[in-house]
Amino acid sequence: MVEIRKPISISDAVRRVMNFTRQGEVVVIPISKAYGHFLAEDVVATHNVPPFDRSPYDGYAIRAEDSREANINNPIVFEVIDVIGAGYVSNKEVGSNQAVRIMTGAQLPKGCNAVVMLELTKEFEQEQKKYFSINRSFLPGDNISLEGEDTKVGTVLVKKGTKINPGVQALLATFGYSEVKVAKKPMIGVFATGTELLNVNEPLQPGKIRNSNSYMVCAQIERSGAEAAYYGILPDNFEVSYNSLLDALDRVDILITTGGVSVGDYDYLPDIYKKLGANVLFNKVAMRPGSVTTVAEWNGKLLFGLSGNPSACYVGFELFARPAVRTLLFSQEPHLNKAQAILQADYPKPNPFTRLVRSTVTIQDGHLVVKPSGFDKSNAVSSLANANALMVLPGGTRGYEKGMKVNVLLLEDDVGCEWPWS
C-alpha cells in the first residue's frame, strides 16, 4: 500500500515554508560577546568620523601660509610652542611661524591648517627653545583628516540582520555600542527516528548503524546561527514518540526530526502530524535526494521532517530549515548564496528531477570550479568533510558535462541571498 504523494517544485516548497517564518526575539549583550551574533538593530554613526580635524601623521601643526616662501634655498624656521600627544588638546593658539608638535591621531590645535611630517623637518634647539626648519611649502588642508570626511553622524552603517564580523565589531566600539541588541539564538530541537540507529557511544551490532544524522544536523543548526537541543532517538512506539515531540515543541522554536517520513511501514511521522493537527505544508518535493522531505506547521512553529538518508537530510536542512533560522535572526537574505561554477565532472545520465549534490567548490585562476564531494566512490565518505556547496542540477532530458557552468549554493558563506530559486 504505497501512499501516493504529489511532488511540488523546490521553489514552491521553500515559498510555503517562508509563509510561516517569523522574526525572532531581541536580547541585549555586552559588546565583548557580540562577535558572531546577528544584529537586531541597525548600527548608526553616533558622531562624525573623524570626530574632529586630526593629524594622520606624527609631525608639526602649522599655519600653511607661514610656509609659502619655503624652498630648498630658503628654509623657513618655526618655533615649537607646545607638544601634545594623541588624546590631548593644545590650549595654546599658534601664531606666525609657530608650531605644535602633534602625534598621529591628535586633534589639530586652534589656528593651524596643515601638518608637516616629522621626516620633512630639521629639528634644532637654541637657548632652550625648540625649533625646526622646512624647505618646502604646504597648502591649507595638507595632511589633515577633516571632521566627518569618512562618515557623517546619523548614517546607517550596518543593517539589522547582519552577522557581526570583526569590521562590524570595530564600528560598534567606535560608536559607543557597549551593549548590543542582537537576535536571540533560536532553539532548534532534534530527534532521530530509525530502529536501525545506535547511539554514538554504542558498539556496532549486526544490521545497525550509529546515528550520525543528528550530530550532522546539530552542526548545521549551529552553522546557521541557532542553538541545537538534541533529544535522542525516538523509540519504535507511536504514543511515546508522540508525547516526546509534544513535550519538545513547548521548549523549541523549530523542531527537526530525521527519518520516519518515507512511505515505509515503519515511518510513523505522518501519523504524528495528523494526531497533532499539524498543517502539513508538503510531503514530497521534486528533487533528489530529499524527495520525502516533509514540513508541517503547528501553532506557529515549523516542524521539519527530514529524510533519514544522510545526504537528503543534509540538503533538506539547508534548503528549508536554514532560511527559517536566518529569518528568526532578522536576516533579509536568509537563503544560501548562489553562484556559478564550472563543472569538473561528467553527469551523463539525464534525470527528470532537480538534483542537489553535496560538492566542493574551489577557486582556480580566479573562477569557481565544482566537483561532487562523493565523486570518487572510494572516498565518498571522507570527502563529505570537504563539502562546502550544493550543486544544483536542474532535471531534464539531458545530462551534464565537464566544463559546463552550473549553479552552486555556498554553504560556508555567511552573507546569504534573498532568493536563489527561479
A 10 A CB-CB count for 341 gives: 23
Give the whole-angstrom CA distance, residue 381 versus residue 374: 7
Closer to a copy of itself by Cβ: residue 96 or 382: 382
CB 18, min distance to a copy of itself, A: 23
Closer to a copy of itself by Cβ: residue 276 or 417: 417
Q: What angle do the packed helices 238-251 and 269-276 form, to 10 degrees? A: 60
Give the whole-angstrom CA distance, residue 85 versus residue 106: 6
CB 353, min distance to a copy of itself, A: 15
Residue 98 is given by DSSP the state E
CB 69, min distance to a copy of itself, A: 26
List of residues 6+ apart from 53 with CB closer than 8 A: 107, 108, 144, 145, 146, 147
Give the whole-angstrom CA distance, residue 413 versus residue 422: 20
CB 286, min distance to a copy of itself, A: 16
Closer to a copy of itself by Cβ: residue 281 or 285: 285
Phi, psi of 267 (to 5 degrees): -95, 100
CB 366, min distance to a copy of itself, A: 4
Closer to a copy of itself by Cβ: residue 68 or 266: 266
Closer to a copy of itself by Cβ: residue 66 or 220: 220
Cell readout for 323 is 532560511
CB 132, min distance to a copy of itself, A: 12
| 253 touches 190 (CB < 8 A) | no
CB 210, min distance to a copy of itself, A: 6
Give the whole-angstrom CA distance, residue 117 versus residue 56: 9
**Parallel, antiparallel, or unpaired: how do β-strands 301-306 and 254-258 relate?**
parallel
Closer to a copy of itself by Cβ: residue 167 or 399: 167
CB 277, min distance to a copy of itself, A: 27
CB-count burial class (<10 Å; 0-12, 13-18, 19+) for 252: buried
Closer to a copy of itself by Cβ: residue 69 or 196: 196
Query: Which of helix, strand or coil describes residue 332?
Result: coil
CB 293, min distance to a copy of itself, A: 15
Residue 175 is given by DSSP the state T
Closer to a copy of itself by Cβ: residue 67 or 307: 307
Closer to a copy of itself by Cβ: residue 224 or 301: 224
Cell readout for 77 is 624656521
CB 219, min distance to a copy of itself, A: 4
Q: Comparing C-alpha atoms, which of 366, 415, 407 is closest to residue 390? A: 407
Whole-angstrom Cα Rg for the chain: 31
Q: How far is CA 300 from CA 19, 250, 255, in A?
A: 10, 12, 12
| 170 touches 45 (CB < 8 A) | no
Closer to a copy of itself by Cβ: residue 278 or 323: 323
